[in-house]
Amino acid sequence: MEQLPKWADLVVVPLVGLIMAFVLSMLMVLVTGHDPIQALKLMVSGALGSTYGWGYTLYYATNFIFTGLAVAVAFHASLFNIGGEGQAAIGGLGVALVCLFIPWPHWTIALLAASASAAVFGALWALIPAYLQAKRGSHIVITTIMFNFIAASLLNYVLVNQLRPRGSMDPATAKFPEATHLPSLGDMLGAVGIPFAKGTPANVSLFVALAACVFVYYLIWRTRLGYQLRAFGKSQPAAVYAGINPVKITIITMMISGALAGLMAINNVMGEAERLILGSVEGAGFIGIAVALMGRSHPIGILFAALLFGALYQGGAELGLWTSIPRELVIVIQALVILFTGALDNMVRLMVAKVLIRPKRAEA
């Protein structure tokens, strides 16, 4: 098969997949007896039609950028980290401990410390599966997914028995002190004169996520470690022959991946909930896999894929609020997008290739 031009691979293929997913979704909405055009309008305008919608879309997108990057870094080394869920949950614990027990004078310092703590906690949670993979050959897919359950149980224990304020029914920590509250995007843009809906959860963590994108780009394509990591991912025996230590690369890659997943906690735990609740990650660790697949494991692709999934989440919420379309159907729509842009990617690519490459041959 001839190679698709790069622009087609990066833009046309995901776009065609997306359109197919939406057409199918709208058919499903029609079958269940709702108006698909109105549903689509509501989803798009609800997610992107107002600064209020953007406030939520960007909040969800921030989560997905972190977890998407986490999965992507591991992908480059041919490691499949599906433990983002657990690493982000443990990252949340790191954020909570730092915010609750250290009196911070200002949010900027608290954010730095919480980021560091979230990253360290996430990285340590990824370290154990990484060690088992590198030294014992236990498959990383199995160990990371099992560590998700261990993380959930650990958090449950810590929240119910240790961090929960006495007499509270909710398995959650107390509210973090005022000084650790991060400014929301509304506050920040309002301060420079741009009107942006207040009371939306998007916050300063978005900029940390963007910085993480830049960091990952430089790490993968501009550093010696990144080169080793990619070489290891392409061919392990060749990498070993070239003098790359497979144990070291596996462990370092997984720790970076875990740190990125853990960093997500500054957005959802510190920025939005301002306390650690049970189940705070809400599947973002798994969505990160779809985001990384769709974004071709490239930071820019991940940025756009995360925005798309953020918009789907917020658009889905608007559907739930204003129509009687059941919540399950909203999940179906999200799943179809994942199916077409992630899993059926090759099918779409073949179709696009037929259309784009054949006319050229005819000319020749």
Partner 1 sequence: MTIMQKFLGASAAIALSAGAALADPAIIFDLGGKFDKSFNEAAYNGATRWAEETGNSFAEVELQSDAQREQALRRFAEAGSNPIVMAGFAFGNALGEVAGDYPDTSFVIIDMVVDAPNVRSVVFNEHEGSYLVGYMAAQTSKTNTVGFIGGMDIPLIRKFACGYAQGAKAANPDTTVISNMTGTTGAAWNDPVKGGELTRAQISQGADVVYAAAGGTGIGVLQTAADEGILSIGVDSNQNYLHPGKVLTSMQKRVDNAVYNAMMDGPGLETGLLVMGLGNDGVGYTLDEHNEALISDEMKATVDAVAEKIVAGEIEVHDYMSDETCPSLTF
Q: Which residues contact 89 (CB under 8 A, 6 or more apart)?
A: 148, 151, 152, 155, 280, 281
**What minimum distance in Å lies between the beta carbon of 201 and partner 1?**
5
Residues 148 and 279: beta-carbon distance below 8 Å: no
Nearer to partner 1, 177 or 320 (CB): 320
Report the interface residues with partner 1, using CB under 8 A.
Answer: 38, 42, 45-46, 49-52, 56, 59-60, 149, 152-153, 156-157, 160, 164, 166-172, 175, 195, 197, 199, 201, 268, 272-273, 275, 277-280, 282, 313, 316-318, 320-323, 326-327, 330-331
Cα dihedral 140, 143, 149, 150 sign: negative
The smaller minimum CB distance to partner 1, of residues 268 and 297, is found at 268
Q: Which is nearer to partner 1, 151 or 348 (CB)?
A: 151
CB nearer to partner 1: give 250 or 280: 280
Smallest separation (angstroms) from partner 1 to the CB of 140: 22
- Residue of 312, 306, 279 lying closest to 72 (CA atoms): 306
Nearer to partner 1, 59 or 125 (CB): 59
Q: Note every long-range contact of 357-363, with CB atoms under 8 Å and residues 24 or more positions apart, other chains counting.
A: 357/2, 357/4
Q: How far is the CB of 213 from partner 1 (least distance, A)?
A: 22
Minimum CB separation from partner 1 for residue 156, in Å?
4
Minimum Å gap between C-beta 275 and partner 1 is 7
Nearest residue (CB) to partner 1, 5 versus 326: 326
Whether the CB-CB separation of 265 and 88 falls below 8 Å is answered with: yes
State the minimum distance, in angstroms, from the CB of residue 199 to partner 1: 7
Rounded to the nearest 10 degrees, what angle do helices 246-263 and 84-101 cross at? 60
Sign of CA dihedral 183, 186, 189, 193: negative
Distance (Å, whole) CA 189 – CA 328: 35
